[in-house]
Amino acid sequence: MLIVEEEQIGKERAEYGKSLLEELSKRLILEFGRGFSETNLKQMRRFYLTYSIRQTLSDEFGDDKSKTVVTSSKMNTDDFKLSWSHYLILMRMANNEERKFYEIEAIKNNWSLRELKRQYNAALYERLALSRDKEGIKSLSEKGQVIEKPEDALKDPYVLEFVGLPEENRYSENELEKKLIDKLENFLLELGKGFAFIGRQVRFSFDDEHYRIDLVFYNRLLQCFVLIDLKIGKLTHQDLGQMQMYVNYYDRYIKNENENENKTIGIVLCKDKNNTLVEISLPEDNEQIFASKYQTVLPSKKELKALIENKKN
């Protein structure tokens, strides 16, 4: 806090602040040992600027030209439930709403440092924000991901980079399914909150006809079955019709009415889809059948952020 206040006095004092960091680093190392390098002190300064009560006029922290105005505040250590390494990642996020979202999710889901990096690199915030209006995007930064209805649990696209199938390579639906099962823990994290794995190639029969659903899950938050069908090509209306039949079967013969389970959700994961085809093929009041794209490489955060900005405007 002392370093920040010295820097805010003015440009002339900012030069003094630079030497202050250098001298303070030497003194602290002599007194307490390692851990107080100039780099570490700058990170501590940035942490204070990011998490103290403040009015930000510039998103650039860490240089002498910062125009950030800081008000005095007492930082409650009980509010910081993550490791220092987690906060080093979070502080790199210039968007306050995005940073708050990842902090909430990391705490609620007990994300490791590796998982926080993975979710950020996979643009989880941007992908969730794309399906929400302004109020929904604001809610993400205040509450994190809250699942109250089927749409809340969906992403578009899903990012499956952990399966190790390059985007341009040819592979079968069986290969993709096997890769997802081999990396089931990763896939459950990508699906999101509340998902429990039931089975793969789950068979059901009627009128001497046999059918298999690629993947079956149960979502304890929505209290319903979630059926997933994998399509490596372009989505067709036949794919949606097939999923409608799967969902109808589960609602009529598998869903437990006595336990107040909700209607089954069906998701067709496809490599490509036409949104107009989806809208025309499904009822206007549809709340059960969904189509989402998947990709096996990390998306461009720049492109996703641009889509969000266009949506806001």
Best CA proximity match to 139, nearest among 128, 149, 155: 128
Res. 312 pLDDT band, cuts 50 70 90: low
DSSP state for residue 263 in the 8-state scheme: P
Whether residue 292 contacts residue 154, with contact meaning beta carbons closer than 8 Å, is answered with yes
- The confidence score (pLDDT) of residue 79 equals 74
pLDDT exceeds 60 at position 76: yes
Considering only 90-104, 157-171, 243-257, which range has the smallest mean pLDDT? 157-171
d(CA 155, CA 163): 18
Question: Helix, strand, coil proportions of the chain in percent (round to 5)?
Answer: 50, 20, 35
User: Which long-range contacts link 199-202 to residues 24+ away (Cβ below 8 Å)?
Assistant: 201/177
Res. 112 pLDDT band, cuts 50 70 90: very high
Average pLDDT, the chain: 82
Q: Between 305 and 96, whose confidence is greater?
A: 96
Per-residue model confidence as pLDDT tens digits over 2-60: 555 554 444 444 555 567 777 787 888 888 877 788 888 888 888 888 887 443 333 33
pLDDT exceeds 90 at position 289: yes
Pairing, β 69-70 against β 54-55: antiparallel
Q: Quote the percentage of the chain above a pLDDT of 70.
A: 81
pLDDT exceeds 50 at position 126: yes
Per-residue model confidence as pLDDT tens digits over 197-244: 999 999 999 888 899 999 999 999 999 999 999 998 889 999 999 999
Res. 166 pLDDT band, cuts 50 70 90: confident
- The confidence score (pLDDT) of residue 69 equals 40
DSSP H helical segments within 134-257, as ranges?
Answer: 134-143, 173-182, 184-191, 237-249
CB-CB neighbours of 23 under 10 Å: 10
Q: Between 1 and 62, whose confidence is greater?
A: 1
Per-residue model confidence as pLDDT tens digits over 242-264: 999 999 999 999 998 777 899 99
Q: Classify residue 126 by burial, with Cβ atoms within 10 Å: 0-12, 13-18, 19+.
A: buried
d(CA 38, CA 3): 12
Domain map of the chain by residue range?
A: 1-74, 82-153+298-313, 161-295
Q: Between 72 and 216, whose confidence is greater?
A: 216
**Token digits of residue 67:** 């125009």
Considering only 61-70, 136-145, 217-226, which range has the smallest mean pLDDT? 61-70
- Segment 109-120 mean pLDDT: 92
CATH class held by domain 161-295:
alpha beta
Residues in Cβ contact with 188 at an 8 Å cutoff, skipping those fewer than 6 apart: 195, 197
